[in-house]
Structure 1
């Protein structure tokens, strides 16, 4: 695909890294020559220095040849105008804009051309702050989880857990796990990471302490599965402290209030603290430094069940998160965008480190996939990928329709998680026969296999697309 990325900030850079690795023709536009030079030194991309909403700059970026425009600058107006220009100048098929302002996000009708042909021509609006908020809320909903991803309109979920000491499942073979779950509870382990290495989840593999296990199940079954994987009953997440009262922290507190959690926010900016204090009803607002030990102790940090570090500074999030953990907080989630920082974080200090860039790129990933990919999401900080793909064609044109899962020559390093047929979720086993219009959710431990998967799902008469 020919893709133009406007903005070489964190999100734009993350997208460029992802897309250039997959043999796309990528052009990045930014005003900062230094950033562009650094990108071009590392990646096989083209860069152009200039303003993202300048028609001449878009022409220089070959907007006439672009399949996709992704506007990720820090300025909402620039991103919206750039998408409008791309539509007028070329009718660019897919236009994606990063938008932060609630004034735009609260009025989706401005961008819905199905309802109004005069609407702003943007196919997808992305708000990294909103995506991070939703991601964290999923982690809160399942205490102890490392990652939660929905598929098939939330009919099925992939959830990652670390196997703790004392779990009944330690040293049990995967094929025997069903014997340790209540009747009617179905799950499928789609991947295991052991000391950073992939362990393919065959029936004879035994779970070990500290394994990172990705399992798939319907939402109603997940709490029971979590309880079975843990060694003891988890402490309910009742008292939550949020470091940072920016867009993410504020919106998290707003939602957590509705869910009847007890919430405290610490922010260093007195004006911001006053503003959010006036708009939140139950949340306690504290003006101060999130890494001030005496302040945390004074605010009874030892009574906090969950500490969320979501300031605009990676360093502040890491330091405050590690301090909170040392002071007795059971669970710490920190927003850390710098990959090198994430690699240095000791697992015993911060339970979950999340990246706004990776969450955002994952949200857009299925637009870059071949075949009818409904959703694709990177896992383990981009090391793996989960996909939901629709099966099209007939037995005469498809390589998989009419065949049982066990008969199909799947690419190596993938696990089939489930098949969704209309509203029915079937946890995968080798005797399920694939039918046209089935949704198949699968896990790739090697993301480079995504193209091989697409080739299986695209009917013969459409292989010229590849």
Structure 2
């Protein structure tokens, strides 16, 4: 497949690196130095120029491209680039990152939905990041929370901690501990290496455990992997921008929320649009302000400004002053490994959260959702179960225990008739089921697709 990526920022560069392994990728950006660095890391062709100029798009090979992904720093440039691409190539699939929420409601949303604005797929990173942050706040102890089937099933990552009831026990004992809770451990990462779990695999302290459970049951599983944490109540959000404002609006009815914002105008604006959240005008790195707001009684401190350094520093200060858990939004992927677990409990990478949406579109109609995990080293997919149109053997009617998956793939759950089910070995697959598959080896995704939706 030929793919044109417009914009070589964090998301564009990450996409180029991932997609260039199996596709013909061309990257366009106005910053030549950025393109030179990208060429050193990935097998891509680069074009230096404006992403929306027709002559640059032609130079990038838009006439015979299968997909264009517009992820420049400007919403307007992304939209115009997709429009010009459709004019030059009617068959091309267009994907645009759009951050400004005003484009995603009212008449413009209607225009996007009816192809008056020819963007086939809209990716809203702020919305995706907000959902991830909300999941982490609502599931104490979680490292990552992903939804499948519209929230019917959750894939959750949790760090096993000494003192947790399951430490030293076999996975098969989980059902004995929780006889009324249905769940399945999909993968374990121990000392950086993946382990395909079986019923006799023992949970060890510091394991990163990925499990699938039905909506509402994840907290019980988490509490088996670590000491029980009470629900989070007191939340401080540093930064009242798009993400901070959205997050506050989503959780203010169920949590005590305070938002710290340095801009007087923005603080005033968000105070008029939130119901119960308290807006504090000031600097999130102000020690006196944090002390006055009883930072030591704060369950979660979330830093989501546009400044990575400010997010890191405010989180480190909040942690030092007694905040229970601190989450930092880190746009620069190189910083994520540096700060994770070094005073910051969870570093949120926008590019990792966003990339899954693009990958799902690349995989075609058989794959409905992709979540990129562990900095792109693993993936979780939601794939359709379909009969073969050519009469080849398919998996419809087969018991899950009799389906041989490639090494590095684990079937964890399925969505059937809008209900979530855990993938036990005696469950028979039906046409139209959505299967949730965890991949520790992304190279086997084509083989997995061929098993569930053979051509």
Structures share fold, TM-score greater than 0.5: yes
Which 4+ runs in 1 deviate beyond 6 A? none
From 214, 221, 228, give the equivalent of 2:224.
Answer: 228
Residue 420 (structure 2) pairs with residue 425 (structure 1): yes
Residue in 1 aligned with 2:17?
Answer: 17
Residue 360 (structure 2) pairs with residue 360 (structure 1): no
Change (3 A) 1:260 1:458: closer
In angstroms, what is the RMSD of aligned CA positions? 2.0
Superposed, 1:187-336 pairs within 5 Å as: 187-232=183-228, 234-257=229-252, 259-336=253-330
Change (3 A) 1:111 1:298: same
SS of 1:190 mapped into structure 2: strand
From 428, 432, 448, give the equivalent of 2:443.
Answer: 448
Change (3 A) 1:10 1:396: same
C-alpha deviations, 1:410-466, integer Å up to 9, x for none? 11011110233333433223333333322211101112221221232342xx3xxxx
Distance 1:356 1:152 in 2: 22
Offset of 1:346 from its aligned partner? 4.9
Residue in 1 aligned with 2:144?
Answer: 147
SS of 1:291 mapped into structure 2: coil
Offset of 1:404 from its aligned partner? 2.8
Superposed, 1:171-190 pairs within 5 Å as: 171-183=168-180, 185-190=181-186
Residue in 1 aligned with 2:50?
Answer: 51
Offset of 1:267 from its aligned partner? 2.6
Offset of 1:252 from its aligned partner? 1.4
Is 71-80 or 283-292 further displaced after alignment? 283-292
Distance 1:161 1:248 in 2: 24
Residue 105 (structure 2) pairs with residue 109 (structure 1): no
Distance 2:267 2:365 in 1: 48
C-alpha deviations, 1:87-142, integer Å up to 9, x for none? 222114321111122221123212112xxx6x211111112122111211111121
Residue 407 (structure 2) pairs with residue 408 (structure 1): no
C-alpha deviations, 1:63-100, integer Å up to 9, x for none? 11111111112222221111111222211432111112
Superposed, 1:74-153 pairs within 5 Å as: 74-107=73-106, 108-113=109-114, 119-153=116-150
Quick check: 1:371–1:454 contact (8 Å CA) kept in 2? Answer: no
Distance 1:90 1:206 in 2: 54
SS of 1:111 mapped into structure 2: helix
Offset of 1:370 from its aligned partner? 5.2
Distance 1:385 1:303 in 2: 36
Distance 1:440 1:5 in 2: 30
Residue 377 (structure 2) pairs with residue 397 (structure 1): no
Distance 1:84 1:326 in 2: 49
Residue in 2 aligned with 1:160?
Answer: 157
Is 203-212 or 390-399 further displaced after alignment? 390-399
SS of 2:199 mapped into structure 1: coil
Equivalent residue pairs, number: 452
SS of 2:446 mapped into structure 1: helix
TM-score, structure 1 normalization = 0.92
Change (3 A) 1:435 1:396: farther
Quick check: 2:387–2:394 contact (8 Å CA) kept in 1? Answer: no
Change (3 A) 1:295 1:426: closer
Change (3 A) 1:424 1:295: closer
Distance 1:158 1:419 in 2: 12
Distance 1:340 1:31 in 2: 22
Quick check: 1:267–1:288 contact (8 Å CA) kept in 2? Answer: yes
Which structure 2 residue ranges, 5 or more long, are not aligned? none
Distance 2:277 2:191 in 1: 39
SS of 1:308 mapped into structure 2: strand
C-alpha deviations, 1:252-277, integer Å up to 9, x for none? 122222x2422222233334333333
Change (3 A) 1:290 1:198: same
